[in-house]
């Protein structure tokens, strides 16, 4: 009798669709899951993705990616892991609340990316899949987009599990709720249990407290990414008037913005806020280096957080390289890359879940 070969992690290879600068890919790689290819529509992500992950970046719109092409990106003889985080702007709480025309929002081509992802799964038939997105996706358009995606996977005989988690429960120094879906052709698959016990979360101090101080608008000579946006004289006065953990209500009324004086502006508790050293950070967004875009003020230095600090709060390693030496430096572009990324710590949790599943089926 011939003994059946045991399935191990080495039998698998992953492709990351909507890879960005590689937050999810890096988490997989750190857990020894092979990733050879990342695919994204934003070509400016190429440098950081390839530089840090020893993987090839394919500049491609997923709606134009054929199943034949995607199959070629998996090494011959390897079982397939397909992961992805479809751009979440159409499903975000902000866009959901501010859309003036819901019908127009529902017709936004971006949410069709999830359908394209589902179509590729149907045609390529990966063995294991993972999808990460914003929690609002499960409610968007009365849940139709998400339910259509799940139904398709179930019809394709995938065992599906999904849950909404907070990244802080997996060692990310940030409050960031995300929807994580896992699927497998082999059997039941689930996200691992929380890795943080007894609410001992990684704090802002843990993440960035060791970094040297910098002035706004000036890069640290040893790390060009450790650079905070230059503040106007007025905003300098505002940040100086803001206590740790505070926001614009700390200011003398002469520093208030017009919107703060209106009844509708009294609930803007996050803008112009400072973080707290011994708490987790707020959710990093694509505008995470802007003082007026949220609670992104440094806990005690008179500036917003730097790009490096934002990347560390997103749990990227401190030596992760974002600055392409042959391209014009664009801080807002890099902030977008960082804010859009899957936190590496969450990528590690997804990777550990896949590894645990493979060990169980092996």
Q: Which long-range contacts (CB under 8 A, 24 or more apart) does 185-189 make?
A: 185/125, 185/127, 185/128, 185/157, 185/158, 185/159, 186/127, 186/128, 186/159, 186/357, 186/361, 187/159, 187/357, 187/360, 187/361, 188/159, 188/161, 189/128, 189/159, 189/161, 189/353, 189/354, 189/357
Q: Which residues contact 159 (CB under 8 A, 6 or more apart)?
A: 183, 184, 185, 186, 187, 188, 189
Active-site annotation holder among 19, 85, 88, 288: 88
288 is catalytic: no
User: What is the DSSP pairing of strand 79-84 with strand 12-17?
Assistant: parallel
Task: Give, for 238, the enclosing helix (H) or strand (E).
Answer: helix 233-240
Strand partners, 114: none
19 Cβ contact partners less than 8 Å away, ≥ 6 residues apart? 25, 38, 39, 40, 45, 49, 57, 84
Q: How far is CA 2 from each of CA 5, 130, 360, rounded to the nearest angstrom? A: 9, 33, 21
Which residues does 315 contact at the CB level (< 8 Å), separation at least 6? 23, 167, 171, 172, 173, 174, 207, 343, 344, 345, 346
User: Helix (H, G, I), strand (E, B), or coil: what is residue 169?
Assistant: helix
Displacement of CA 97 from its chain's centroid (Å): 21
- In angstroms, how far apart are the furthest CA atoms of the chain? 85
Taking each helix axis as running N to C, give the angle between helix 23-30 and helix 344-361, from 0 to 180 degrees, rounded to the nearest 10.
50
Nearest CA to 272 out of 242, 300, 252, 308 is that of: 242
In angstroms, the CA 31 to CA 210 distance is 26
**Known catalytic residues?**
88
């Amino acid at each position: 009798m011939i003994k059946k070969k045991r399935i191990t992690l080495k039998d698998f290879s992953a492709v990351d669709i909507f890879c960005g600068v590689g937050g999810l890919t890096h988490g997989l790689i750190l857990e020894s899951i092979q990733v050879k290819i990342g695919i994204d529509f934003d070509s400016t992500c190429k440098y950081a993705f390839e530089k840090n992950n020893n993987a090839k970046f394919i500049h491609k719109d997923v709606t134009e990616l054929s199943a034949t092409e995607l199959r070629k990106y998996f090494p011959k003889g390897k079982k397939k892991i397909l992961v992805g985080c479809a751009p979440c702007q159409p499903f975000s709480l902000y866009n959901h609340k501010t859309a003036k025309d819901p019908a127009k929002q529902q017709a936004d081509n971006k949410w069709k990316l999830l359908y394209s992802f589902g179509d590729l799964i149907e045609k390529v038939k990966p063995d294991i899949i993972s999808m990460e997105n914003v929690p609002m996706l499960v409610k968007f358009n009365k849940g139709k987009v998400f339910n259509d995606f799940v139904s398709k996977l179930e019809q394709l005989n995938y065992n599906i599990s999904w849950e909404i988690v907070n990244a802080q429960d997996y060692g990310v120094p940030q409050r960031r709720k995300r929807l994580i879906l896992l699927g497998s052709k082999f059997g039941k698959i689930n996200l691992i249990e929380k890795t943080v016990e007894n609410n001992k979360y990684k704090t802002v101090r843990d993440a960035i407290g060791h970094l040297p101080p910098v002035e706004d608008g000036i890069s640290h000579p040893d790390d060009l990414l450790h650079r905070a946006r230059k503040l106007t004289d007025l905003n300098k006065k505002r940040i100086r008037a803001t206590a740790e953990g505070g926001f614009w209500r700390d200011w003398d009324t002469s520093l208030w913005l017009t919107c703060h004086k209106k009844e509708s502006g009294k609930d803007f508790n996050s803008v112009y806020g400072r973080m707290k050293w011994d708490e987790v950070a707020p959710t990093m967004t694509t505008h995470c280096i802007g003082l007026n875009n949220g609670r992104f003020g440094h806990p005690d230095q008179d500036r917003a957080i730097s790009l490096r600090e934002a990347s560390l709060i997103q749990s990227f390693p401190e030596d992760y390289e974002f600055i392409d030496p042959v391209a014009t430096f664009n801080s807002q572009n890099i902030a977008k890359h960082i804010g859009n990324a899957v936190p590496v710590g969450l990528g590690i949790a997804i990777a550990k879940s896949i590894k645990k599943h493979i060990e169980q089926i092996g």
